[in-house]
Amino acid sequence: MTPHDRTSVSDTDRLRRQIALLWAAIAVLALGLSSSVIRIATTTSSSPDVLTVERLEIVEPDGSPALVLANSQRPAVATIDGHVLMEGQEEERRGFPSIIFFDGQGDEVGGMLFGVRETPGGYQAVRHLSLDANDQDQTVVLAHYQDPEGSTSGLRISDRPAHSLLDSLAQLGLSAGASREQLQAAREQLPEDEREARLRELYGTDRAFFGSTHSGEASLTLRDGEGRLRIVIEAPREGEPSIRILDAEGAVVLRLPAS
């Protein structure tokens, strides 16, 4: 055998070994891929079927709240510009599971409360959805309230001023975090003959209500910008329905039926 022949045989053997190694690598990869597919197919999802928590907070990238879901013992409270609006609100809301909405900047803008709370008179049932004006209080409320005496259900629309609730508190000599008792005392300090108008300037006024009342009436009431009742449509539980239009002084200028 010539040196050239020995070199050819050596090259051929080396090529065969490389091909054998390549097939072995392919076999190992195929086996690993098959195992992975089988494992994925037979392994259950890592996502839990049920997430059990007492309070769930959805937050913005900066950590400010966007949505809070809470049980009856861990309610969220109203905030404006990072300030808790009123002292004692957490205790007032306790007893009702809730979903509280925020505006992406950390300010509460409404929410939902629902539940039943025991009271000295029996119970209080609440189903409540509200939407707030910017830096202000509720402008839209859809709610059902019930106790042993009866229930009230309906939609209420309110006007709110352009300034912040924090400004309203400041004009009463209070700051964020004041108690409801302090707020009531500050309101009572307003001159009696100016109180109603001043409170409208600070907090706005109800404009419309459509729903039913404890007395069993279904009604639609409309008020003007000063909070004065101007149109009333009523359908009592028994008897004839009526429509009344009132002037600015509260006198009826039109009634249907006329009797």
- Give the pLDDT confidence of 92-108 residue by residue, as tens digits: 999 999 999 999 888 99
Asked if residue 191 is part of any domain, the answer here is yes
Compare 203 and 105 and report the one with higher pLDDT: 203
Asked if residue 144 is part of any domain, the answer here is yes
The angle formed by the CA atoms of residues 240, 231 and 204, to the nearest 5 degrees, is: 140
Co-location of 93 and 59 in the same domain? yes
- Write down the pLDDT at residue 32: 66
Co-location of 155 and 193 in the same domain? yes
Q: Burial of 146 by CB count in 10 Å (0-12 exposed, 13-18 middle, 19+ buried)?
A: middle
The whole-angstrom distance between residue 165's C-alpha and the CA centroid of its chain comes to: 19
Co-location of 168 and 130 in the same domain? yes
Which whole number is the average pLDDT over 18-30? 67
Co-location of 161 and 132 in the same domain? yes
Is residue 224 within 8 A of residue 181, CB to CB? The reply is: no
Co-location of 86 and 107 in the same domain? yes
User: Is residue 37 pLDDT above 90, yes or no?
Assistant: no
Is residue 172 within 8 A of residue 186, CB to CB? The reply is: yes
Co-location of 3 and 98 in the same domain? no
- Write down the pLDDT at residue 49: 84
Which whole number is the average pLDDT over 182-198? 94
Amino acid at 129: L
Co-location of 70 and 147 in the same domain? yes
- Write down the pLDDT at residue 38: 66
Asked if residue 206 is part of any domain, the answer here is no
Domains in the chain: how many in total? 3
Domain span at 63: 55-199
* Residue 108: both structure tokens together: 């509460």
- Write down the pLDDT at residue 17: 74
Amino acid at 97: P
Which whole number is the average pLDDT over 205-209? 97
194: helix, strand or coil: helix
